[in-house]
Amino acid sequence: MSASAKARVSLRACIVTLSLCFYAGAGSAQAPVAPAAPAERDTTTAAPAAPAQPAKATQLEAVSVTGVAIPGSPLTQAANVDVVDSQAMQADGVSNLGEGLDQLAGVDSIGTGNVAGKPVIRGLSGLRVKILSDDVGIGNQAYGVRHMPVIDPFLIDRAEVVRGASSVLYGSSALGGAINLIPMDIAYDHRALGEVMGRYNSNNRQWDTGVKATGGNGHFGYAAGFIRRDGGDIRTPDEPTYFPGPNAAANSDAPAYTGRLPYTDFNQLNGSFALGMDDDTLGEWQLRYTRFDDEHNFLLPPPAGIKPPTAGAEGVGQYINDDQIQLTGHVEGAGIQWKPSFLYQNNRRRSNAGGFPLVTGFDNTIDLEFDQYTARLTGQHGPVLGLSGGTFGVEYLNKQQASRGRVQLSPGGQVNNAAVFAFEEKDIGKLTLQAGLRYDYHDVEADAGETANPSPSVVNADKQTFNVVTGSLGGVYALTDHLSLAANVGRGFRAPSLFELYVAGQHGGVAAFQRGNPDLDEETSLDTSVSLRWASDRVTAKLSGYRNAIDNYIYIEDTGQTQNGLPVFDHDQADAELYGAEASVEAQLTQWMSVHAQGELITGERTQSNEDLPLIPANNFGVGARFTPKGQSWPPGAYGLVDLTYHASQDAAPGEPFSQFDGAPFGRASTSGYGLVDLGAGMTPTIAGHEVRLDLRVNNLFDKPYRGFLDTYKGYALSPGRDIRLTTSVPFDL
């Protein structure tokens, strides 16, 4: 997503979270109810084919969120919850999940061109943010800074973002938050309802072509979607470059590469197909198959390849294949809504050695594959024993990984997790209390027999076991019909991964040699947040503050040593804390004009050394306006928008991925402040008897040279220049 699609500001010393969240419509005196969204943010789509009015920050107030313990309006949750639907992402022309969500205050994206976008929630990312498919966790080998989620945003109905520790519901890796991806819904009462989509992105000359449809005969139905993404090399503004050459040292902030960046292309073919049954007695069941197939190049920094810097840019080819089979049911029995789920996932990540792009074929350098089996059963009950309702459940996960490449990197091994949890709610007048408790047994064991070239630490590895209890306590109090106060305290945990415990090898994704630490303990956190929320007919807003104290935070540090010309990074632990504030506001000034603003203030540091934590987003703030002219002189569905954002400067933390470029004779890892301007427009004309949705976005309107702090190319190249994205969507109902 463009930088202007979100707004943030920075905070260096904030301990509590306040959140003023304005939702259109009025809430009840006891707990605010979900009101209807403004026209330009209507996200209550009945089926994938119905194009919603595009939105910059889409809230699903009229649809219950399910990625929480007790489904309902986001307003009734003690935790901070936002929802973005697929149609809004589509209107913005996003290519990955990170782009699709970084419009939300407190949510960012670690980006690498258009191919990779990793969501960041309140400064935490990767293995600290749980990605779920309809409540069930999915893996994507997220230890790498460029390892993106393996579900295409075109193939979902919506994404529900829960900020803060969510371990009570989802266990390890939900320490920083959770993103629940809701699959395409099945329209049992339609024969064929869907849409055909086409898009062109000018910056990297990318073509996207997709189709999705759903239908049924009343009791049996289907939902299917496919999308092809073919992206070329990205273009940055044509700024001077001095590397390699005699003037490089005197111009060390200049990028190593500029203009059209080679080896930044990618190709994807992703799809999903589901069969469903909806019966009054047997309930609703869905069997879904999802495929994510990706091939991409990454541009390498010099001299990470096989040639001297004078030979020019080099790339590395990578391949990702992911298959998921998920069975989900919704059955009522004994007064309880049961939701059994089973998910099988096969994920394979292959990477060449530096200097060998896709055109050379796979060279067997890194070959990691895992099979993951997850079984989960939850039950949601109504009032009982004086409680207003609640959810309880059990979950079991087994992961089996093999490392077959010449370089071990992450080893083969097994991970097991068994858990039991409960979450209850109590209404007391205007106050709604929510509390949860969970127990996890988690073990990790490296297996030299499943590792082609095991390191000594893997050969001598013992099983690591973790027994962890987590909990949460929160509430929502309706101060008035429009204003509510929410607070939440949650305990989170994360067990160290096979990668963090035993990595041994050159990691091309961060241009470094990394080593694991078998003595790592589990991370535990105490996350505290406060939210103030307002809802009226014309104004919606959110003001939030939080503090997340993490014991045994796992990080990598630069040892000062080098191997094969690359810095050596080791894994270590230290206590840390993150604190910040985020705010958003939208006001409907007239029938045809609304304005919005949002921002984020965040800091993170190790508590003993006061050194910054890695990959903390730069502070940002943004404002914008949306115009929806009415009248016969305007095309149907016409709108226009403008967004202005400012991103503050940010210093790279010690040991941060790519921090080594602050001392290189080119580029830099720390970034300067910058501002961007984005424009958008759209309409829904009728062409040849068919309604057509046209959406236009112009990102970085003035082609401004800048480096985004979470852009992984920042160390040796600029961030993308102007990008014109045109999306055409044609719905059909047969």
Which has the closest alpha carbon to 305: 239, 263, 365, 354? 354
From the list 88, 258, 236, the residue with the least C-alpha distance to 157 is 88
Beta-strand pair 129-133/177-183: parallel
Report the alpha-carbon angle 607-609-615, nearest 5.
Answer: 75
Query: Which residue spans within 232-314 are E strands per DSSP?
Result: 266-279, 283-299
Separation of alpha carbons 523 and 173, rounded Å: 10
The span from the CA of 727 to the CA of 209, in Å, is: 10
Is the Cβ–Cβ distance between 699 and 180 less than 8 Å?
no
Give alpha helix (H) positions in 570-673: none
Tokens 């919704």 identify what position?
330
Q: Quick check: helix, strand or coil at residue 384?
A: strand
Contact 268, 228 (CB under 8 A): yes
Helix (H, G, I), strand (E, B) or coil at 170: helix
Q: What is the pLDDT of residue 15?
A: 29
Label each residue of 4-38 as H, E or C: HHCCCCCCCCCCCCCCCCECCCCCCCCCCCCCCCC
Which pLDDT does position 182 carry in this prediction?
94
Distances (CA, A) of 169 to 77, 146, 520, 615: 14, 27, 24, 26
Domain with 519, as residue range(s), is 3-733
> What is the rounded CA–CA span in Å between residue 516 and residue 555?
11
Token pair listed for 560: 């000062």
pLDDT given for residue 279 in this prediction: 93
Tell me which amino acid residue 584 is. Answer: S
Under DSSP, the state recorded for 238 is -
Question: What letter does residue 500 receive in the DSSP assignment?
Answer: H
| Number of domains into which the chain is organized | 1
Spacing of C-alpha 41 from chain mean position? 21
Quick check: 83 and 45 in contact, CB under 8 A? no
Structure tokens at 631: 């009248």
Please check whether residue 256 is in contact with residue 241, taking contact to mean a CB–CB distance below 8 angstroms.
Answer: yes
Tens digit of each residue's pLDDT (9 = 90 or more) over 571-627: 999 999 999 999 999 999 999 999 999 999 999 999 999 999 999 999 999 999 999
Q: Which among 123, 127, 154 has a CA at the least distance from the CA of 138?
A: 127
Which segments in the chain show pLDDT lower than 70? 1-64, 67-69, 508-509
CATH number of the domain at 517, please.
Answer: 2.40.170.20
State the pLDDT at residue 421: 96
First-to-last alpha carbon distance for the chain, in angstroms, is: 33
Helices and strands (H and E) in the chain: how many: 5, 34
Residue 519 neighbours by CB under 8 Å, 6+ apart: none
Contact 179, 139 (CB under 8 A): no
- pLDDT at res. 662: 84
Element (H, E) at 484: strand 483-494
Residue type, 154: F
Q: Which residue in this structure is represented by tokens 């009840």? A: 28
For 463-478, b/e burial (b = at least 16 CB within 10 A) is ebebebebbbbbbbbb
CA dist., res. 607 & res. 611, Å (int): 8
Tell me how many degrees the CA angle 359-714-258 measures, rounded to the nearest 5. Answer: 65
As a whole number of angstroms, the distance between CA 384 and CA 387 comes to 5
